[in-house]
Amino acid sequence: MILKAAVLGHPVLRARAEPVEAKDLRKPALKRLIEDMADTLFEYNGVGLAAPQVHASLRLFLALESADGMDEEDGPSAGAKAKLRVIANPEFYELSKEMEEGPEGCLSVPRLRGLVPRHTSLIIRGLDGDGRPLELAASGFFARVLQHEADHLDGLVYLDRMKDLRSLAFTSEL
């Protein structure tokens, strides 16, 4: 089922989300939420989606992992091979000192894009969709997606990270 997206101004986007228990990730209600989030992600051709974006204040997000066939502007391209990652209670380790500005957009900030500085590589730990411990190394675009989605769990949107709002533009003007 396609879920309704919370857009900028809704309080769920500015609240710190609640941790998820490992046992809850195995329950039908949370499994259903994850399935619906995946349907929503693919419906909108996204590369990541956090639970607060669909009105669920949980420390949980989905992210497509792939360096092959991903387009930073338009999401996964036709034929892209990507693995959908479910990550609960994420924590970042070994963030690179190197930062890079890159374009970001968001389902919760529709039709806009801006340049956002992000760490170029990192290690993330949390729980997977079955409540098992998860550790991933990420770099490049996938590292950007992970940081973007994790921000939603702390009540942040990409606009909060932008250094210069002059790069903010409507997608139709880019």
Q: Which two tokens stand for residue 90?
A: 């994420």
Question: Out of 21, 91, 149, 173, which one is annotated catalytic?
Answer: 149
Question: Long-range contact list for 160-165, CB < 8 A, 24+ apart?
Answer: 161/116, 161/117, 161/118, 162/114, 162/115, 162/116, 163/101, 163/115, 163/117, 164/115, 165/114
Single out the residue of 122, 120, 75 nearest to residue 99, CA to CA: 120
d(CA 43, CA 63): 14
149 labelled catalytic = yes
What Å distances lie between residue 96 and 64, 90, 100, 119, CA to CA? Answer: 21, 17, 10, 6
Catalytic residues: 149
